[in-house]
Structure 1
Amino acid sequence: MEGTGGGKDGPGLLCRNVKVSGRRTSLRMEPYIWDSLKEICEREQMTLNEICTQIDERRGEANLTASIRVFIVSYYRTAIGQRGFSEDGQSPLLRRAMDDAVPLD
């Protein structure tokens, strides 16, 4: 994992390898975005590769990194709209956030 370093332009970006739809790819995102994505994976009991693959399958021509960022915002906004997170199993939160952020064509 490498960052590009912080500075007056904002936090550094971290580059990580993930498997998306069976192929290895590198994603560069802010540490806060990586942390948020990790938290979503833990809440949904899914791997990073599984979440990224679902987003990839739905994004169409959109950039994968941008689609991941939009998904994260959608996930948390959906959770707030439901007045918090459900702790009992996988809630429809993931599906709804995915539908809102990266709708199927």
Structure 2
Amino acid sequence: MSPEDGPPPGSLPEGGLLKRSLVIAGHRTSVSLEAAFWEALRRLALARGLSVQALVGRIDAERGEQNLSSAIRVFVLRAVWPGERAEHTVEQHSAGGLSDECSPPSSSRGSPQARTRDP
């Protein structure tokens, strides 16, 4: 997939699940993601100088017991989460693992009740 195959910068495709076949660690596997996640993953891979397949291979190596599609979605969300650095890499996730929950961003948005739990 070349950079020209995607939608114009600033827009994300709409659509349901798209299933794609990849070879990861020598094994052929299928991954189902929404079109917007495929596009975001493609852009993240491009920014890192990797193919989508290579980036997914790194995510796969770090995911532990987490479902691969879920691990990819979490990786994409962490890469674009407010307060996270855009140059975030898979290796930076390895200390906490991809299955750790994301912390909410430290901003003034959202109600205090949404950010705290009752005892």
**Could you say whether these structures have the same fold, taking a TM-score greater than 0.5 normalized by the shorter chain as the test?**
yes
Structure-2 separation of matches of 1:32 and 1:67: 15
Higher relative contact order (CA 8 A, sep 6+): 1
- What residue is the counterpart of 1:32 in the other structure? 36
Q: Measured at CA, do residues 102 and 23 of structure 1 come closer, stay the same or move farther in structure 2, by a change above 3 Å?
A: same
Computing the radius of gyration from Cα coordinates, the structure with the larger value is 2
Q: Which runs of 5+ in 2 are unaligned?
A: 1-13, 100-119
Amino acid corresponding to residue 21 of structure 2 in structure 1: N
Identity between Structure 1 and Structure 2 (%): 27
User: Structure 1, residues 35-92: CA drift from partner, whole Å, max 9, x if none?
Assistant: 0000001101101111111111111111000000000001112xx426x74xxxxx5x
Partner of 1:55: 59
1:102 aligns with 2:98: yes
Task: Provide the secondary structure at the position in 1 that maps to 2:50.
Answer: coil
Point out 4+ residue stretches in structure 1 off by more than 4 angstroms: none
Query: For the Cα contact (< 8 Å) 1:18–1:48, is it kept in 2?
Result: no
Correspondence for 1:67: 71
Question: 1:29, 1:72 → 2: CA distance?
Answer: 11
The TM-score, its normalising length taken from structure 2, stands at 0.61
Q: Does 1:15 align with 2:58?
A: no
